Amino acid sequence: MNICHVITRMILGGAQENTLLTCEGLHARDHDVTLITGPALGPEGQLITRARNGGYRVIEINQLRRPINPIRDHRAYRRLVRLLGDLRPDIMHSHSSKAGILARKAAAKVGGMKIVHTVHGLPYHRYLSPWRNKLYIALEKRAARRSDAIVSVADAMTRQALAAGVGRGEQYTTIYSGMEVAPYLDRPDGANAFRDSLGFGGDAILVTQVSRIAELKGHQYIFDAAERISDPRVRFCFVGDGRWRDRIEAETNRRGLADRFTFTGLLPPAQIPAVMHASDIVVHCSLREGLARALPQAMLASRPVISFDIDGAAEVVDDSTGVLLAPGDVTGLVSAIGKLADSPDLRAALGAAGREKCREMFSHHRMIDRIEELYLRLLDS
């Protein structure tokens, strides 16, 4: 098959890693693969270098950017029309909101291809202003009418989209966002070195959040919990970078928590298995996600997880694998961290169950199998 993937930017992120592994996997199966993307702008790091070394075609559109800009967006759309007209793919598969809106419109204009879009996270949510939500829902409804299939990374994404009137039920297929599972299964050599580098001491109970440091990622709730946890063994680590890093670090100092928190900054993806194995508990206090990759990554490393019950989190976190809390429940967060800190046996039991649950569920080979099957069904129809 001749397949074209389009994504807004190839930064370090779940949607981008999903797209990268899909392109690599389809290319390895001898499909003709093209990746079209905007520039990898932002402090989060980038995956464009690995993409360019993947052996498939990579095209960058400078005008394809995340912020809304009508003039620049129109230029990006016109470039997409030209590229899709030249490439004439059998499948055009878009990712992320901006690329999804523009690429589906361009593919429909060119014609002659099946149009697929993956919902990694919905652009409309309760924390946006009403007028933005109305705009984004209207745009997504129009784009859904142009789509032959819509892939959700969690059942929750499908439910929320349909509740907003975006698309029809028969268009949706849930395909969990795969990852390279093997590096998480055995403790890497770098795990001990990473833990030692934090300087917390051998008896520390390390509580880690891996995410962008940005609005709605919930770092403030971890601060609130830390202020109420008196156990001196419990220490915290934030892995990642983002536009809010200076603000969050300043908050750490303002609250007098600097000696209990470490910021690692941006780490390469290859180091994340070591981070997970070095941690005793992995938390994810974000207020909106499709399905945070940090959760299955921690579970594959046999680590118990604590997450707010948002979007797709409940599809991996339950009483057998971790603790699911109402969004913003600091009291529950304090209790869960304390309970897990006091019980190595409970941590081990939850971690083992999480690994068993996620090993196959989040295999990138399974993800590519299901995406390839979806493409073939669309072309056969």
Which CATH number do you get for residue 210?
A: 3.40.50.2000
In this prediction, residue 111 carries a pLDDT of: 96
In angstroms, rounded to a whole number, what is the distance separating the alpha carbons of residues 1 and 316? 33
Query: Domains in the chain: how many in total?
Result: 2
In this prediction, residue 214 carries a pLDDT of: 87
In this prediction, residue 43 carries a pLDDT of: 76
298: left (phi over 0), alpha (psi -120 to 50) or beta: alpha
Task: Give, rounded to a whole angstrom, the gap between the first and last alpha carbons of the chain.
Answer: 15
Whether residue 161 is found in the same domain as residue 232:
no
Ranges of residues in the chain with a pLDDT under 70 are none
The type of residue at 231 is D
Which DSSP category does 313 fall into?
Answer: G
Whether residue 187 is found in the same domain as residue 158:
no
In angstroms, rounded to a whole number, what is the distance separating the alpha carbons of residues 310 and 308? 6
In this prediction, residue 45 carries a pLDDT of: 80
Q: What is the DSSP string of 171-210?
A: GEEE----B--HHHHS--THHHHHHHHHT--TT-EEEEEE
User: What percentage of the chain reaches a pLDDT higher than 90?
Assistant: 87
Catalogue the long-range contacts made by 318-323 (C-beta closer than 8 Å, 24 or more residues apart): 320/350, 320/353, 320/354, 320/357, 321/350, 321/353, 321/354, 321/357, 322/350, 322/354
Whether residue 114 is found in the same domain as residue 193:
no
In this prediction, residue 218 carries a pLDDT of: 93
In this prediction, residue 290 carries a pLDDT of: 83
Q: Nearest-CA neighbor of 281 among 321, 315, 328, 332?
A: 321
Whether residue 209 is found in the same domain as residue 229:
yes
Whether residue 226 is found in the same domain as residue 99:
no
Q: Which two tokens stand for residue 123?
A: 């652009």
Whether residue 12 is found in the same domain as residue 84:
yes
Q: Which two tokens stand for residue 174?
A: 């849930």
In angstroms, rounded to a whole number, what is the distance separating the alpha carbons of residues 177 and 154? 8
Q: pTM for this structure?
A: 0.90
Whether residue 116 is found in the same domain as residue 174:
yes
Domain that holds residue 280: 182-361
Whether residue 133 is found in the same domain as residue 37:
yes
Whether residue 94 is found in the same domain as residue 225:
no
Whether residue 165 is found in the same domain as residue 248:
no
In this prediction, residue 127 carries a pLDDT of: 83
Whether residue 238 is found in the same domain as residue 298:
yes
In this prediction, residue 161 carries a pLDDT of: 96
In 363-375, which positions are buried (b, 16+ CB within 10 angstroms) versus exposed (e)?
bbeebbebbbebb
In angstroms, rounded to a whole number, what is the distance separating the alpha carbons of residues 292 and 305? 12
* Cβ–Cβ under 8 Å, residues 45 and 12: yes
In this prediction, residue 191 carries a pLDDT of: 95
Q: Give CA separation, 59 vs 21, 24, 196, 214, in Å.
A: 17, 15, 42, 28
Whether residue 164 is found in the same domain as residue 222:
no
In this prediction, residue 227 carries a pLDDT of: 95
Residue for token pair 């994810």:
284
